[in-house]
Structure 1
Amino acid sequence: MSARRLRTSLAVLFLGLLGVLEAPAISCRNEAGRAVDWFVFYKLPRRQGKDFGETGLEYLYLDSATRSWRRSERLVNSSRSALGRTLHQLHEAHTAKSNNTAYLMYNDGIPKSMNYSRNYGHTKGLLLWNRIQGFWLLHSIPGFPPVPEEGYEYPSTGRRNGQSGICVTFKYSQFEAIDSQLLVTNPNIYCCSIPATFHQELVHMPRLCARSSSSKSPARHLTTLQSAQGKNFLHFAKSDSFSDDIFAGWMAQQLKTHLLAETWQRKRQELPSNCSLPYHVYNIKAIKISRKSYFSSYQDHAKWCISQKGTKNRWTCIGDLNRSPHQALRSGGFICTQNQHIHQAFQRLVLYYEDCD
């Protein structure tokens, strides 16, 4: 290579890197628009009463700067909610059309469609990143979020039942592990943009994006992820070839803890509490918001579990699979943490759970 071509190449590389460094850091955002390492939300079901509200848009919020649930003054459909602030970065990236930024959106129930695909994982989420860092939002909301050019909206179908989700900020070095996890969960990707600059490290996402992946995935895979601020998370990813309940058949035994599981309890479609293995899984039947207000799992589309009170290992896991015979045959996953404030927050929501027969 000539000296002139070398100088030109270095100049292009420098300008590209400068563009990434000058851009605001991509991260989970709180309601003030400030970067946070992670946040958790719990959208309440639509019910009458002061602790719920009639809109089905009220939500509880907890992030890395707080210690307990806070009822948000915003509604979840507001662009100034935590979800709205976080997804604003997606809309900016889509408008800028930069080769330095990538995103991937997936949902088994794609926005503005009544058709649910069973050919892909029962997974819902969004990733946005550049070569510095990005975030992974995992949630339980069908039809969310809309494609970037439509701006921020919350689907009317997501109002009736409770919904949950977690957003974690990761350095770019973690996205290679996330790439492998997505291969296992086989998400239904409905919108994505992954410039060629990422293809060398992230092998599977571009192929999943193009629906052309032929890579063979393991039946299940567990990986450790580290947030931007150095907090450890575990991610469980199961494929449809791992035909077992992810809670009882894997997570409880791997984490070595009895679990209380809160998932959508549709009548005659739920799995009973399971005490047949060394570590048990109990179905939560009702969630309390205050001393006088509660709702049942039949009104809750959230998907989470926590270690049983009094056990040594205090885990909280948030993801996208229900405890049902059908979903034991679907792919999906959970992200888990031992953060004590998250565990305490979810522990206080449990009104009662079902013991084994």
Structure 2
Amino acid sequence: MSLIQVVKLARFALIGFLLSIGLLFKACYSDVKCRNDRGEAVDWYIVYKLPNVKDGGLSYLYMDESTGGWKLSKEKIDSETGFLGKTLKPLLDFYTKKTEGFGYMLYNDQPPNPYSAPSSFGHSKGVVMLDHHFGLWLSHSTPKFPTYRSTEFWPSSGNANAQTFLCVTFPYQQFKEIGLQLKYIHAYSFDSEIPKTFPEELRCVAQRSCYPKQKPWFSVERLKSAAGSTFTSFAKYSRFKDGEF
């Protein structure tokens, strides 16, 4: 074998190695995380949307572990460049082109048209999105949010009153427990797509096919975020009575 042939073989081997490393990093990267206004992944955030006073009810205060307290955002809550637009991007992209290995569930006791939640379901609102590496649980207070399968995700019905948002990034392994908590809440899922390989506890809530059938009528779970923070989740079913804890 000539020196030129050896060099060519080495070059091809190097290219193959670099491509395999690139595919490995691509497979391990996850877009499904809570994100701030700059699109940076954060472990958690809390947002307080201000009531309609001067600007149409679109301003908000933002806080995560790096801000040192509340900060008034320069963005508007209905903007794709704000925290909601950045956080929901995997879902909005999925509406246009389905992504393999991605799942989501949207629940709301005051869902967008054409849905209507029976009173037997829990008073709760939220977004769950995940892939096989990471996911997020976004709990909020906004009626008719997010708008049903639309890139214009913010409903005008959310403008007048103050609204709150709590987003936490979790490793995939925690979504079995998150599904259990949503079962006890008896969340009303109005839109979902959960692959069969994902936790059954989450799938049955998404399909509105499960709820607690015997005591205890409550569940307490300590959930560990992607960065190792501990969040304690308290969930109760409608048959829960005071003093049962």
TM-score range, shorter chain: 0.7 to 0.9
Distance 1:136 1:130 in 2: 12
Q: Of the candidates 186, 210, 213, which is equivalent to residue 213 of structure 1?
A: 210
* Matched ranges for 1:257-336 at <5 A: none
* 1:37 aligned residue: 43
TM-score, normalised to structure 2, is: 0.83
Aligned to 2:232: 234
Aligned residues: 223
Contact 2:60–2:76 at 8 Å: present in 1 too? yes
Give the Cα–Cα distance (whole angstroms) in 2 for the partners of residues 92 and 175 of structure 1. 22
Tell me the residue number matched to 2:72.
71
Contact 1:20 1:131 in 2 (8 A): no
1:227 is matched by which residue type in structure 2? S
Closer, same or farther in 2 for the Cα pair 1:162/1:113, shift >3 Å? Answer: farther
Structure 1 residue 146: Cα displacement: 1.7
Residue type of the alignment partner of 2:157: T
> Over residues 60-110 of structure 1, what are the superposed CA-to-partner deviations in whole Å (9 max), with x where a residue is unaligned?
000122111001111111111101110112112343423311101000011
C-alpha distance in 2 between matches for 1:67 and 1:55: 27
After TM superposition, where is structure 1 displaced by more than 6 Å over at least 4 residues in a row?
A: none
For the aligned residues, what is the CA RMSD?
2.3
- Show the 5 A alignment for 1:135-214: 135-148=136-149, 150-198=150-198, 202-213=199-210
How far residue 142 of structure 1 moved from its aligned partner, in angstroms, is 0.6
2:128 aligned with 1:127: yes
Residues 1:60 and 1:231: Cα distance change in structure 2 (over 3 Å): same
Q: Distance in 2 between matches of 1:184 and 1:103?
A: 19
Indicate which of 24, 38, 53 corresponds to 2:30: 24
1:209 offset after TM fit, Å? 2.1
Report if aligned partners of 1:99, 1:197 keep a CA contact under 8 Å in 2: no
Q: Distance in 1 between matches of 2:45 and 2:36?
A: 8
Structure 1, unaligned runs of 5 or more:
1-13, 48-52, 255-357
Q: Distance in 2 between matches of 1:130 and 1:115?
A: 28
2:146 and 2:153 in contact (8 A); partners too = yes
| Aligned partner letter, 2:171 | K
Q: CA deviation at 1:144?
A: 0.2
Using the TM superposition, name which of 207-216 and 127-136 deviates more.
Answer: 207-216
- Relative to structure 1, is the Cα distance of residues 35 and 25 closer, same or farther in structure 2, using a 3 angstrom cutoff? same
Q: Is the 8 A contact 2:178 2:202 kept in 1?
A: no
Aligned to 2:90: 89
* Distance in 2 (alpha carbons) for counterparts of 1:137 and 1:72: 19
**Aligned-partner Cα distance in 1 for 2:25–2:186:** 33
Query: For 1:214 and 1:223, how far apart are their aligned partners in 2?
Result: 17
Q: How far did 1:19 drift?
A: 9.2
Residue aligned with 1:165, SS: strand
Change (3 A) 1:209 1:164: same
Amino acid at match of 1:234: T
**1:157 partner SS:** helix
